[in-house]
């Protein structure tokens, strides 16, 4: 099993510099979701990578930043995530840990259209945060 189910312990490790894939957390989700959400770290490099890949027209680049739970399914029929030419700006200061997830606000801009706010839900895979899903921010 390659899925990373982080625990509270893992989150502590994250705050100190990240979880490694070898340091796989326990699999009890209830253990991982206790406690209140807290601010978590999303590095500038990771932010840039996500912003560029998620607006890329190259499916392979997009796939590289998708969580494995969604990557294969998306890749079999790679639909356009955002309209061509869109930009995405992630605000790492809003990153909040929610269980094993990291929620972070982002804004997409497309020429001729109103900008749109999103909440990106990320999960940790090795050293990287990968995109698991999004929802429109109210």
- Region near other proteins per CB under 8 A, out of 10-18, 44-52, 94-102: 94-102
Which conformational region is residue 113 in: left (phi greater than 0), alpha (psi within -120 to 50 degrees), or beta? beta
Residue 9 CB, nearest approach to other proteins (Å)? 14
Residue 92 CB, nearest approach to other proteins (Å)? 19
68 lies in the site for other proteins, by CB under 8 A: yes
66 lies in the site for other proteins, by CB under 8 A: yes
Q: Measuring CA to CA, how many Å separate 51 from each of 6, 59, 90?
A: 24, 14, 7
* Nearer of residues 1 and 45 to other proteins, judged by Cβ: 1
The residue among 63, 57, 61 whose CA lies nearest residue 75 is 63
Contact 100, 5 (CB under 8 A): yes
126 lies in the site for other proteins, by CB under 8 A: no
Among 38, 113, 127, 135, binds other proteins (CB under 8 A): 135
CA–centroid distance for 58 within its chain: 18
Question: What is the x/- site pattern for other proteins, positions 27-56, by CB under 8 A?
Answer: xxxx-xx--------------------x--
Read off the DSSP letter of residue 93.
G
Among 5, 19, 50, 104, binds other proteins (CB under 8 A): 5
- In terms of Cβ atoms closer than 10 Å to its own Cβ (0-12, 13-18, 19+), residue 112 is exposed
Three-state DSSP at 95 gives coil
Binding site for other proteins (CB under 8 A): 1-3, 5, 27-30, 32-33, 54, 66, 68-70, 72-74, 79-83, 98-101, 108, 118, 121, 123, 131-135
């Amino acid at each position: 099993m390659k899925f990373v189910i982080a625990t509270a312990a893992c989150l502590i490790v994250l705050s100190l510099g990240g979880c490694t894939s070898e340091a796989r957390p326990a699999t009890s989700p209830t253990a991982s979701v206790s406690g209140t959400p807290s601010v978590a770290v999303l590095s500038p490099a990771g932010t840039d990578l996500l912003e560029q890949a998620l607006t890329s027209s190259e499916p392979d680049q997009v796939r590289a930043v998708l969580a494995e739970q969604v990557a294969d399914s998306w890749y079999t029929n790679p639909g356009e995530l955002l309209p061509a030419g869109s930009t995405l700006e992630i605000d790492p200061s809003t990153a909040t840990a929610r269980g094993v997830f990291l929620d972070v606000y982002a804004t997409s801009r497309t020429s001729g259209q109103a900008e749109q706010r999103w909440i990106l839900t990320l999960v940790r895979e090795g050293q990287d945060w990968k995109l698991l899903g999004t929802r429109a921010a109210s």
